[in-house]
Structure 1
Amino acid sequence: MAQRVCIIGGGVVGLTTAYALVREGIEVTLLEARDTLGSETSFANGGQLSYRYVAPLADAGVPWQALGWMLRGDSPLKLRPRLDPAQWRWMASFIGACRTSINRRNGAHLLRLALLSQATLQGWREDDRLDGFDWRRNGKLVTFRDAGHFEHARKRVTDNLHQQVLGAAECAELEPALNGVPFVGGIYTPNEEVADCHGFCQQLAARLRASGRCEFLMGRTVTRIHHADGRVKALESGGQLFPVDHLVIAAGHRSAALGLPGVRMPLYPLKGYSLTAPIGARHRAPELSITDYDRKIVYARIGEQWRVAAMVDIVGFDPSPDPRRLALIKRQARETFPLAADYEHASEWAGMRPATPSGVPLIGATRYPNLWLNLGHGALGFTLACGSARLLSELIRQREPSIDLRGLAPRAA
């Protein structure tokens, strides 16, 4: 069994990994580049725990659709080509994954992992009494403005036990806040959930500190991984070496910069944005989580806050928010749900979601027997984090994994 596991990254993926390992009795050291935990991509994401609606972005027709989007000022996708071989390699692989057969295969991998993640979080909530992060099972409704897109989605619903196809009137009856919004129909999943990802990270951190089995090293940027004789030996940060027994890389989109020979990490950051607006007594925010499919905007009520998240910007590694993109999100949110919250006092956020071209994360062993990956979750980091952590802890403990690892295991370079 592993003696001590070092984890690089203090976002939701790194923290859930630490939590799963500590639950197994393993000692953990977690290094985080910032002075606070869960403060980058995990800070203000969409908040939807979308377990059954996990289709990858790469799908048939998406490249042509994206070309049309790029000609619009209100496009949900923005591409800024750069003199960066990593961007071009990622884009080429992404286009290669834009086939219906590949999308369905990858969607099946994500669904398998997502359902494990849902069961894992439920177990932690019940067995460990883990709470304090505004978790609710409120259901999710994916709504469509375009009749063609709705028809395409309706035909792909295969799980009639857990998903329902609804017409416009049925959507409005289910969620009164949709009255008057020009949606033609929707796909309703009753058992989807919502929670505050940043609050979840803080609860995990508190439990880890209380366990006595987890050490946090904050403000530690790892600049190099030392290896010899086919094994990882140490981390280097600030000129200091930290010997390691086992190492997990969970550093989001920055993970690729820590690459070792023979370890393939095809990651690129997809910048997303969100608004978080307070909900007062006079407001009427939807109780269901809503996804506006055609505008690629997700809406979620998280406690007394209204979270609006959107956009896929493939523009490089600059995390700074684009005011024009945030203004577009606010305008479209106001058009759709004008009474939902106090938009004038909304806080703004941008985050870099670490994505693989296929949309499927990399979880598991590498060619180095003591080096493990848990990264590339894209926009589904919160949804998939608990299941990913459970799988990795099982692998490190050399136990039979809870689900088939096909499609999830890292490939050699």
Structure 2
Amino acid sequence: MKIIILGAGVIGVTSAWYLAKAGHEVTVIDRQSGPALETSFANAGEISPGYSSPWAAPGIPQKAAKWLFMKRAPLIIQPMFDAATIRWMWSMLMNCNYSAYHTNKGRMVRIADYSRDCLIALRGETGIDYDHRELGTLQVFRTQKQMDGVGKDTEVLTEGGVPFEVLDPAGCARIEPGIDTSKIVGGLRLPQDETGDCFIFTNALATRCEALGVKFIFDTAMTGLRREGERIVALETSKGDYEADAFVCALGSYSPAFLKPLSLDVPVYPVKGYSITVPIVDEARAPMSTVMDETYKIAITRLGSRIRVGGMAEIAGFSKELPATRQETLTFSVEDLFGGAGDQSQAKFWSGLRPMTPDGTPVIGATRYSNLWLNTGHGTLGWTMSCGSGRVLADLISGIKPEIETSDLSLNRYG
């Protein structure tokens, strides 16, 4: 079957890999000059199935109200009153209850765990390298209140069969020797989590896709999908029309606007995140893997000879501004916990638009158009869920029963 994938981020490229492995003729089209140049470019670098939880959770509205007044707030809401923002935020609030949280987390963990297995298999098959480490994730707590509340997290982890360790400051230092233990009261470690550079991975996998016959077309603006009845017949672009047997939309935050002319309502919103990348100048002080700063919701990750510091959630539409105050928050977190490990004078500041659904679960599967498929809405977990999502989609398109349950992942769950 001839298949066109819209978008060359990590989701589009992993989809291409598994579809090509299934024997399909695949073309990937993107407006950028190469793979992974938008949301996949400089994310936090963590592959964390154990932390796959929806942002919409019990107690979040109360916490969000407090965060708005923090100097270094993990959540920033810009004054916006457009219908899309209000509708998405309202839908997210409606998911902030125990029943919805349990359902949504179950879906997310299912995909994330499967994706980890798919990544391990892919890495074994290809020998692909992307500055990856398999040393787990350490979530550190700065206050006793945070530490006392760890029971809620461990209960969920136990229920899901996820290994974990609750550590005192000395235990945290055994895992992360460079951390300043005077700033923390303890931590929660998930030893099965991994780290890696999503940009390097996506580009390396794209090269392997080309070896399988996948064609990449870059610097191409996509303007619409032409349909005949309930079937898509062509992708319209700045370089002409491309016909295919099937089409996959992996456009992240840009999926809703692109699909709106087809009367498809995809509840994905761009939640802005930030990162800095700094070179390591003191190995003894540098992190070994990923450290999650619970107070500021910031991930500090070792990527080869660099430190990637990423986090925050900003509701600001499609703004790509880089306010200095956001960089200051990232710098403060890493310097407070790993002071002097990186050269902040060489920090590269970046922002990306995470495609978030109100329930946290990505949208993977068919649409009411017989040959149009979706693989979008992964939020902060696109890197974590990428391989599993690509494999699931390839199986569905190929008429193969996926190895995990997928009936509740499609657009149909929103009615």
TM-score normalised by the shorter chain: which range applies?
Answer: over 0.9
Distance (whole Å) between structure 1 residues aligned to residue 294 and residue 148 of structure 2: 13
Quick check: 1:49–1:195 contact (8 Å CA) kept in 2? yes
What is the CA distance between 1:280 and its match in structure 2?
Answer: 2.8
Amino acid at match of 1:216: F
Aligned equivalents of 1:149, 1:96: Cα separation in 2: 25
Mapped pair 1:290 → 2:291? yes
- The 5 A counterparts of 1:333-372 are 333-372=334-373
* Distance in 1 (alpha carbons) for counterparts of 2:30 and 2:240: 15
Shift of 1:26: 0.9
Larger fraction in helix: 2
Structure 2 distance, partners of 1:328, 1:174, is 24
Aligned to 1:246: 246
- Structure 1 residue 227: deviation in Å? 1.1
Shift of residue 108, structure 1, vs aligned partner: 1.1
What's the CA shift string for 1:170-222, capped at 9, x where partnerless?
A: 222332223434222221111110111000011011111222x2111111121
> Which residue in the other structure is 1:30 paired with?
28
8 Å contact from structure 2 (residues 297, 312) kept in 1: yes
Looking at structure 2, the residues matched to 184 and 108 of structure 1 have their Cα atoms a distance apart, in angstroms, of 30
> Separation in 2 of the partners of 1:168 and 1:406?
43
How far 1:139 sits from its partner (Å)?
1.0
Structure-1 separation of matches of 2:203 and 2:361: 26
Distance in 2, matches of 1:399 and 1:361, equals 20
Q: Where do residues 122-137 of structure 1 align in structure 2 (5 Å cutoff)?
A: 122-129=120-127, 131-137=128-134
Q: Is 1:142–2:142 an aligned residue pair? A: no
8 Å Cα contact 1:283/1:339 also seen in 2:
no
Residue 276 (str. 1) matches residue 277 (str. 2) = yes
**Is contact 2:141–2:295 with CA below 8 Å preserved after alignment?**
yes
Letter in 2 for 1:100: Y
Q: Give aligned-pair identity as a percent.
A: 36
Q: Which amino acid in 1 is paired with 2:366?
A: A
Partners of 1:88 and 1:155 lie apart in 2 by 30
Task: Give 2:392's aligned residue.
Answer: 391
Shift of 1:106: 0.9
Q: CA 1:282–1:112 in 2, change beyond 3 Å: closer, same or farther?
A: closer
Q: How many angstroms apart in 2 are the aligned matches of 1:126 and 1:63?
A: 43
Task: Return the alpha-carbon distance in structure 1 between the equivalents of residues 402 and 394 of structure 2.
Answer: 9
- CA-to-aligned-CA distance 1:362-388 (integer Å, 9 cap, x gap): 000111110000000000000000000
* Deviation (angstroms), 1:283: 5.1
Is structure 2 residue 27 aligned with structure 1 residue 49? no
C-alpha change, 1:183 and 1:281, in structure 2 (3 Å) is closer
Q: Where in structure 1 do 4 or more consecutive aligned residues deviate above 4 Å?
A: none
Q: 1:264: Cα distance to partner?
A: 2.6
Per the TM alignment, residue 72 of structure 1 is displaced from its structure 2 partner at its CA by 2.4
Q: Counterpart in 2 of 1:330?
A: 331
Aligned residue runs from structure 1 range 5-404, under 5 A? 5-129=3-127, 131-158=128-155, 159-160=157-158, 162-211=163-212, 213-238=213-238, 240-259=240-259, 260-281=261-282, 284-404=285-405
Change (3 A) 1:230 1:169: same
Provide the C-alpha distance between the structure 2 equivalents of 1:328 and 1:165, rounded to a whole number of angstroms: 27
Task: Tell me the TM-score normalised to structure 2 length.
Answer: 0.95
Q: How many Å separate the matches in 1 of 2:35 and 2:196?
A: 17
Query: Structure 2 counterpart of 1:110, which letter?
Result: M
> What whole-Å deviation, never above 9, does each CA across 1:290-332 have from its counterpart, x for those lacking one?
1011210101101111110011000111123222211221123
CA separation of 1:66/1:320 partners in 2, compared to 1, >3 Å: closer, same or farther?
A: same
> 1:64 aligns to what SS in structure 2?
helix
C-alpha offsets along residues 37-75 of structure 1, whole Å, 9 cap, x if unaligned?
101111110000001111111111111211111122311
Shift of 1:233: 1.1
Alpha-carbon separation, structure 1, partners of 2:333 and 2:301: 15
SS in structure 1 opposite 2:411? coil
Q: Is the 8 A contact 1:360 1:407 kept in 2?
A: no
Q: CA RMSD in A?
A: 1.6
Q: How far apart in 1 are the matches of 2:345 and 2:151? A: 37
CA distance in 2 between counterparts of 1:138 and 1:157 reads 19
Secondary structure of 1:132's counterpart equals coil
CA contact (8 A) 1:109 1:406 kept: no
Tell which deviates more after alignment, 318-327 or 37-46. Answer: 318-327
User: What letter is aligned with 2:279?
Assistant: P
**CA 1:355–1:282 in structure 2 vs 1: closer, same or farther (change >3 Å)?**
closer
How many angstroms does 1:8 deviate by? 0.4
| Structure 2 Cα separation of the partners of residues 202 and 235 of structure 1 | 24
Separation in 1 of the partners of 2:324 and 2:181?
A: 29
CA 282–169 in structure 1, closer or farther in 2 if over 3 Å, else same: closer
* Counterparts of 2:408 and 2:345, CA distance in 1: 44
Gaps of 5+ in 2: none
Contact conserved, 1:154 with 1:165, CA < 8 A, in 2?
Answer: no
Q: Displacement, 1:354? A: 0.6
Give distance in 1, aligned partners of 2:38 and 2:46.
17
- 2:232 is paired with a residue whose SS is strand
**Distance in 2 between the 1:282 and 1:151 partners?**
32
